[in-house]
Amino acid sequence: MTDLQSNTAPGRTHFIVSAVVEEFIISIPSLDARFTCRSDQTILKAMIGQGLKPLAIGCRNGGCGVCRIRIQSGDHHSLPMSRSRVSTADEAAGIRLACRVYPASDLLIEPMPLTSLSLGKSQCRAA
Closest CA to 102 of 38, 57, 19, 29: 38
Contact between 76 and ligand FES by CB under 6 A: the answer reads no
Footprint on residues 34-63 left by ligand FES (CB under 6 A): 57-60, 62-63
Among 28, 48, 67, 86, contact with ligand FES (rule: CB under 6 A): 67
Contact between 65 and ligand FES by CB under 6 A: the answer reads yes
- The number of beta carbons lying within 10 Å of the beta carbon of residue 56 is 22
Closest CA to 84 of 55, 111, 124: 124
Among 46, 48, 64, 107, contact with ligand FES (rule: CB under 6 A): 64
Contact between 97 and ligand FES by CB under 6 A: the answer reads yes
Interface residue list for ligand FES (CB under 6 A): 57-60, 62-67, 97, 99, 124
